[in-house]
């Protein structure tokens, strides 16, 4: 099965599915046969995900800021998916997870429990804007989907406005408000009323105005598409 990124073999892409000759050259130099065999098994076993596979390398462990691959090399993780701010495998986090798994690994929502109540109260307390209620969801995509539903319910309206090239997740509702062509193309009708506008960014101006917003007459502010 072909994939949109397959057509861009020599164009370095934003995501991890970079299939440029640079990546192939790196893999040829640095990936040994055993690792390659695991990468091949991964590619056979998993459906390919936009921007995530085929995988670059095989990890063995991680600790703090460091990823260690199966060939023993250490990699400093500057990204951490924006959710590992305390580092990989922080001992206090591991201890808390283990203790909770031993005591109450799951709580059906017809019931509650003291750690869950304490967590919601703490989140409300430390969130900068006044936050009355907490809703825990499995991930960012679900958070976006639920926020869309809540906003529709609260306002009685359905239109959204978001940026070209923005990423809000990969589900149908999230790609509707998202602005990345890779996710939106060739997938049929998306949610109606999703308006997209260009980023107002003088530094990387879409119209190459080079920061001269007056001469450009703020085209970004006058432009939108669905
Ligand atoms: C801004 C933004 N919104 C939504 C998501 C989707 O989150 P998730 O992958 O947890 O569904 C991401 C993930 O990278 C994100 O960066």
> pLDDT digit string (tens) for 28-45?
999 999 999 999 999 899
Residue with tokens 């199966």: 70
**pLDDT at position 85 over 90:** no
What region does 82 belong to: left with phi over 0, alpha with psi -120 to 50, or beta? Answer: left
Domain boundaries, the chain: 109-136, 140-226
- For residue 140, what pLDDT is reported? 92
Cα–Cα distance between 42 and 46 in angstroms, integer? Answer: 6
Contact (CB, 8 A) for 174 and 145: yes
Question: Which of 140, 142, 144, 166, when mutated, tests ligand 1's pocket best, judged by the most ligand atoms within 8 Å of its CB?
Answer: 140
- For residue 7, what pLDDT is reported? 45
169 pocket-lining for ligand 1 (C-beta < 6 Å):
yes
Query: Cα Rg for the chain, rounded, in angstroms?
Result: 22
**pLDDT at position 72 over 90:** yes
Contact (CB, 8 A) for 63 and 89: yes
At 86-145, the pLDDT tens digits run 899 999 999 999 999 999 999 998 999 999 999 999 998 988 877 788 999 999 999 999
Residue with more model confidence, 94 or 85:
94
- For residue 135, what pLDDT is reported? 92
DSSP alpha helix (H) spans, 53-169: 91-103, 114-126, 140-155
pLDDT band at 17 (very low <50, low <70, confident <90, very high): low
What's CA 61's distance to the chain center, in Å?
22
**pLDDT at position 79 over 70:** yes
Residue 52 C-alpha to ligand 1 middle, in angstroms? 13
139 pocket-lining for ligand 1 (C-beta < 6 Å):
yes
Contacts of 157 (CB under 8 A, 6+ apart): 151
Question: How many other CB atoms are there within 10 angstroms of residue 96's CB atom?
Answer: 12
pTM for the whole structure? 0.81
80 pocket-lining for ligand 1 (C-beta < 6 Å):
no
**pLDDT at position 6 over 60:** no
Q: Which atom of ligand 1 is nearest to the CA of 174?
A: 4
Question: Which of 144, 147, 167, when mutated, tests ligand 1's pocket best, judged by the most ligand atoms within 8 Å of its CB?
Answer: 167
- Span 176-205, average pLDDT: 92
- Span 198-219, average pLDDT: 86
Q: Which atom of ligand 1 is nearest to the CA of 139?
A: 10
- For residue 9, what pLDDT is reported? 47
At 174-187, the pLDDT tens digits run 999 999 988 898 99
Cα–Cα distance between 180 and 169 in angstroms, integer? Answer: 10
Beta bridge partners of 113: none
168 pocket-lining for ligand 1 (C-beta < 6 Å):
yes
């Amino acid at each position: 099965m072909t994939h949109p990124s397959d057509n861009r073999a020599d164009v370095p892409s934003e995501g991890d599915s970079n299939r440029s000759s640079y990546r192939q050259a790196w893999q040829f130099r640095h990936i040994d046969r055993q690792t390659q065999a695991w990468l091949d098994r991964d590619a056979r076993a998993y459906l390919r995900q936009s921007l995530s596979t085929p995988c670059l390398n095989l990890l063995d462990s991680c600790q703090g800021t460091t990823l260690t691959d199966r060939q023993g090399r250490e990699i400093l993780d500057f990204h951490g998916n924006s959710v590992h701010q305390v580092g990989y495998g922080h001992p206090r986090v591991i201890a808390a997870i283990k203790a909770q798994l031993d005591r109450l690994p799951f709580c059906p929502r017809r019931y509650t429990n003291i750690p869950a109540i304490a967590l919601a109260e703490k989140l409300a307390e430390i969130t900068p804007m006044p936050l009355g209620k907490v809703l825990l969801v499995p991930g960012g995509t679900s958070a976006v989907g639920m926020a869309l539903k809540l906003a529709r319910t609260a306002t009685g309206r359905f239109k959204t406005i978001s940026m070209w090239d923005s990423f809000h997740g990969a589900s149908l509702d999230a790609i509707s408000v998202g602005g990345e062509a890779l996710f939106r193309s060739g997938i049929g009708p998306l949610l109606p009323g999703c308006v997209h506008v260009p980023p107002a960014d003088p530094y990387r101006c879409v119209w190459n105005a080079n920061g001269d917003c007056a001469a450009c007459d703020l085209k970004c502010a006058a432009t939108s598409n669905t």
